[in-house]
Structures are given as C-alpha cells and as structure tokens.
Amino acid sequence: MTPAQIVLVTGPEEYLGIRAMDRVRAQVRAAAPDVELSRINAAGYEPGALTMQVSPSLFGESKLIEVESVEAMNEAFLADALAYVQHPEPDAVVVLRHAGGARGKKLLDAVKKGGWPVVDCQPLKKDADKISFVTSEFKAAGRRINQDAVQALVNAVGADLSELAAACSQLIADATTTVTSETVDRYYGGRIEATAFKVADAAMAGNAPLALSTLRHALATGADPVPLVAALAAKLRTVARVAGASGSSVQIAAELGMQPWLVEQAQRDVRRWTPEGLVRSIQATAEADAQVKGLSRDPVYAVEHAVTVIAMSVQGR
C-alpha cells in the first residue's frame, strides 16, 4: 500500500509517533525500494527547502520527506507548507510530525481540510487503553496471553508506553506457550510497580501478614513509598467506582471505560467490603498519600498503617 502524498502524525505520545513514522516509511519503501529519503527540521527551516526536496529527481526516484518539530515551526516553513498542501508533488510523500500544541494550527487545519490522513498519537493514560494496547500487540504477533497476565504487565511496566511495548516484544519473542501472570512475574516481578500491586492485592484480600511482609521487603530494598500508596489508591478507586455502578459487567465497563473482566474482578472484590470499611480504607490511603509526599517524617509507618487498615477492613478475614 502506498501512503498518501501528505500524512500528518500528530499528538504528544513519542513512541506512537515514532511507530507511525516507521510504518509510513516501510509502506513507501515497499512500493518504491529506491525511494530517496530526506529529513527537514521545521524549527530551523530555510525558505525554499521543502520545494527543493520534493522536486522530481533526474533519475525518477520517488521522494519521502519526513518533517520533524512541526509544533515548533518557523514562519518560513508555515508559508512553504501551506502552499505545498494546495499543490503536492505526485511522486513525493511528505510526513509531518507535530507533537502537539497550538502552534501551526493553520497548517494542521489545511491538511485536515484537504482530506489527507491524520495519525493521532495521544498518550494512553487509562489502564483500559494500555490493556487494549498489550492485547493488540499479542494478537498482531499471533501469540496468546492470559487476561491476568495483561493486567500484571500493565501494572509492572505500564507507566511508559515504550517500555510496555518493549516488554510485549520480549515476551512475544521468548515465550513458547501462552503468557501467564507467572511468566510476567518471572520477567518483571522485581519492578517496584509490580511489587506495589502485590502489596495492594494482598491487602485487598485481607491478608495483612503477606501484605506487610511484601511491603517491608520492598521498602528494605530501597523502594519509594509513593508508588506503593498509588497502587493501594488505584485498587480502592476501582472497587469504589464499581460498587457505585449498576447493570451488567459489560454495561458498567462501557460506562466506566474499563475492561469487562476487570469489572467482574472488582465486583467479586466488592462483596468483601462494607461501605464503612471502604470509606475508612480510602481515608487511610489518602492520609498516607499526603504523608509520603512530605507531611510526615515517617512515611514508612504511614504506608504500613494504610495497608493494615485496608486488610483489617475486609469482611470475612
């Protein structure tokens, strides 16, 4: 498939932007192996450079021009690019990389008005989006991964999309069978994010001894208490949101922007909680969050107290 003559890659998520640019480049080279590649920085653009780069070659090669830093473009680039969008060269593909912001809106609007393709590279902020990303990575590679393994992988390395993608690639390359949560734990269980969710899972299950021993081991090895408290808060927030919703797991998932299986897991967790116990745990975690961020001289005690309150608030423990 040959890309359009103009492609806009927009949005602040760097990894998705790089991947989009790589994909366009691969498509152009598949259609024209002898394509001539050149790059332009829009921030330091010299007038007439775009026209020169897209001009037909004496030998008839196709042209691929990748324009970086379009969000920081100077006025010379804006003028030349606006003119080019109206009359693009038939044997050239121009890819514009705009990382976000208001600068260059006139050019972006012109590209969109012209009907040229736009690749939107927004950060994946919600766990549901990261879960979908991991699932699609494995599906595209023809490999299988369990749902709990997907969540474990997001918990462990989901803070950075490039790290999450690299972890997917490693597991896809190394694992010979279906990837399980045990597989993920073997590779990434030592990460503080993974440890934080182990503490949270044990506390939410009412297993205070396991939660506290895992917590103390993490802190003894130099773990930062802030992500530990963040994991507790995330678990409690999910239970509280699901507890306040009504309908089937599919309906609740659509309403809350969560995966249905994650809703079902939270619904099972809800049965262990009274409203009073949930409120008490949320308050203790909020206090711990403030204390580990500077309001206490003993952040370790603050986290231990929150873990204990949560575990002791679970019914039937």
> Is residue 31 situated within a structural domain?
yes
With a threshold of 0.75, does the pTM exceed it? no
115 and 137 in a common domain: no
Domain boundary among 78, 98, 120: 120
Q: Tell me, what CATH number does 152's domain have? A: 1.10.8.60
Task: Give 263-309 pLDDT, tens digit per residue.
Answer: 888 888 888 888 899 999 999 999 999 988 877 678 888 899 999 99
Query: In this structure, are 234 and 171 located in the same domain?
Result: no
User: Is 167 within the bounds of a domain?
Assistant: yes
Domain boundary pick from 189, 205, 221: 189
CATH number, domain containing residue 52 = 3.40.50.300
In this structure, the number of other CB atoms found within 10 A of the CB of residue 73 comes to 23
Domain check: are 311 and 217 in the same one? yes
DSSP 292: I
**In this structure, are 146 and 180 located in the same domain?**
yes
- Residue 205 and residue 170 in one domain: no
Q: How far apart are CA 154 and CA 46, in angstroms?
A: 44
Number of domain units in the chain: 3
Express each pLDDT in 240-266 by its tens digit.
989 888 888 888 888 888 778 788 888
Residues 197, 134 share a domain: no
Cα dihedral 290, 235, 305, 221 sign:
negative
- Asked if 173 and 229 sit in the same domain, the reply is no
| Cα–Cα separations (whole angstroms), residue 197 to 29, 57, 210, 219, 266 | 44, 57, 12, 14, 14
- Do 108 and 137 reside in the same domain of the chain? no
Flag whether 1 is in a domain: no
* Residue that is last in its domain, among 120, 153, 169: 120
In a domain, 243, yes or no: yes
What is the three-class DSSP state of 145? Answer: strand
Residues 160 and 110 in one domain: no
Please answer whether residues 118 and 144 qualify as being in contact, where contact means their C-beta atoms are separated by less than 8 angstroms: no
pLDDT in tens, the chain (317 residues): 568 999 999 999 999 999 999 999 999 999 999 899 999 999 999 999 999 999 987 676 889 999 999 999 999 999 999 999 999 999 999 999 999 988 999 999 999 999 999 999 999 988 889 999 999 999 999 999 999 999 999 988 888 898 899 899 999 999 889 999 999 988 887 776 778 888 888 999 899 999 999 888 888 877 788 888 988 998 899 899 898 888 888 888 888 887 787 888 888 888 888 889 999 999 999 999 998 887 767 888 889 999 999 999 987 55
| Residue 254's CATH number | 1.20.272.10
Residue 173 lies in a domain: yes
Three-class DSSP category at 55 = coil
Are residues 156 and 111 located together in one domain of the fold?
A: no
Show the domain range for 131.
124-189
One domain, residues 181 and 197 = no
pLDDT for 316 equals: 53
pLDDT score of 236? 92
Residue 232 in any domain: the answer is: yes
